Amino acid sequence: MRKSLLIADGRPMDNPQDLDIIATQWLIEQYPVIVSIHFMYRFNALMKFMLNNNQVLNNRIKDYWWRIEFQNRGSPHVHMVVWVEGHASFDTEEGLQQLNKVCSCELPPETSELHDLIKKNQLHKHTHTCYKNSSESPTCRFGFPRKECAETRLVSHSSDEFIRNGGRICILKRGSEDGWVNNYNPTLIKIWNANMDIQPCGTNETIAFYIAKYVSKSDPTQLDGSVARAIREIQREETDISHKLFKVCMRILKERQVSACECAYRLCHLNFRDSSRKCTFLNTRKPEQRYRVLKFDSNGTATGYCSNIIERYEKRPTEHPNYDFDNMCLLEFAMLFESHYEKSNQEPEECVDIYDP
Ligand SMILES: [Zn+2]
């Protein structure tokens, strides 16, 4: 990353190792496009590695879902859920042994190649966000320093301990010197070389807790005040409800804070999310109630409608050696096929800015 930032800054011969944290931070702020594209290169390589190496999480990853989020200062990070095939149940000795192999919070001995990596990336340091939910007696909401634990054990998802443990079903084996170490996977930390957190879920309740806590985060609360004020003003206006709702939606969109990196993601069409399972929306309302997408010519005049899945279903072939199209319902059709668009010849091969002196 530092190397690519130096190249972007016109200093390709400088040594990335010489950049201190302030200089690096300055470059990150100057080049959000480089940061975002570089992050996605690294993350795509990590995904490829995880999906092709069954030993990383003990077994094959059969499903995954991930989403990019942006921290307060705007840098991207990923939230991900993966499903591992055939993992021994966590409440068996074998299951716990497997967990210990892939999920650790141990500060390795100084002789280990992992020691420096863990020290650099995995030690928790309190910041103001640690205390954002506490009132009188401030305690770190991530639970650091964490207590010693002789052996990895499970906590019941219906117990108070589960809530106190931040919705984590597992309390990992932790020595007295490991109080500040965040959970990591020994294989992934070596190739990722950046901060990570990993937690076993095991039950539907834990997955639900994880998704509610980390994946569906709302926008920063500082915005709520001004949006709430705007909504109160709109409520008092004497227009009909649909106009009011439209104005509220526009206001919320307008008030949203977007970091430079998020702008870079949107402008460069980088992926914000992906999963091994896909969703397709099927509009099954009556034909006269269905939304259609208008098609425009180069003058901006509407010339008709774009085709939709119902039209494509109606035009399906009558005979095919592999598919029984005659007896195929719309739902099956939508599950089996997706639209494929030929790349337009007029589109330039490269969609990056070309430097033209
Ligand atoms: Zn903290």
Strand duo 153-154 + 294-296: pairing: unpaired
Instruction: Compute, in angstroms, the gap from residue 210 CA to the centroid of ligand 1.
Output: 19
Sign of the CA dihedral 215, 32, 13, 15?
negative
Instruction: Compute, in angstroms, the gap from residue 140 CA to the centroid of ligand 1.
Output: 4
Instruction: Compute, in angstroms, the gap from residue 165 CA to the centroid of ligand 1.
Output: 14
Instruction: Compute, in angstroms, the gap from residue 8 CA to the centroid of ligand 1.
Output: 35
Instruction: Compute, in angstroms, the gap from residue 124 CA to the centroid of ligand 1.
Output: 7
Per-residue confidence at 73, pLDDT binned at 50, 70, 90? low
Residues in CB range of 17: below 8 A, 6 or more apart: 2
| pLDDT given for residue 136 in this prediction | 60
| pLDDT given for residue 137 in this prediction | 63
Q: How do residues 108-156 score in pLDDT, each as one tens digit? A: 999 998 999 999 999 999 888 787 766 666 788 888 888 899 999 888 8
Closest of 220, 295, 287 to residue 255, by C-alpha: 220
Instruction: Compute, in angstroms, the gap from residue 187 CA to the centroid of ligand 1.
Output: 25
Instruction: Compute, in angstroms, the gap from residue 32 CA to the centroid of ligand 1.
Output: 27
Judge whether residue 352 has pLDDT over 50: no
| pLDDT given for residue 224 in this prediction | 63
Tally of CA atoms within 13 A in the half-sphere of 275 that contains its CB: 12
Instruction: Compute, in angstroms, the gap from residue 157 CA to the centroid of ligand 1.
Output: 24
Instruction: Compute, in angstroms, the gap from residue 180 CA to the centroid of ligand 1.
Output: 9
112 membership: H or E segment, kind and range = none
Residue 207: other Cβ atoms inside 10 A: 15
Instruction: Compute, in angstroms, the gap from residue 36 CA to the centroid of ligand 1.
Output: 27
Instruction: Compute, in angstroms, the gap from residue 182 CA to the centroid of ligand 1.
Output: 11
Question: Residue 282, SS3?
Answer: coil
Instruction: Compute, in angstroms, the gap from residue 304 CA to the centroid of ligand 1.
Output: 57
| pLDDT given for residue 208 in this prediction | 84
User: What's the DSSP call for residue 57?
Assistant: T
Judge whether residue 356 has pLDDT over 50: no
Task: Find residue 273's DSSP bridge partners.
Answer: 67
Q: How do residues 241-253 score in pLDDT, each as one tens digit? A: 888 888 888 887 7
Residue 122's alpha-carbon distances to 2, 30, 184, 282, 339, in angstroms, are 20, 27, 8, 44, 43
Instruction: Compute, in angstroms, the gap from residue 249 CA to the centroid of ligand 1.
Output: 36
pTM: 0.74
Tokens for 246, please give them: 């439209």
Instruction: Compute, in angstroms, the gap from residue 71 CA to the centroid of ligand 1.
Output: 16
Cα separation of 111 and 115, whole Å?
7
Judge whether residue 50 has pLDDT over 90: yes
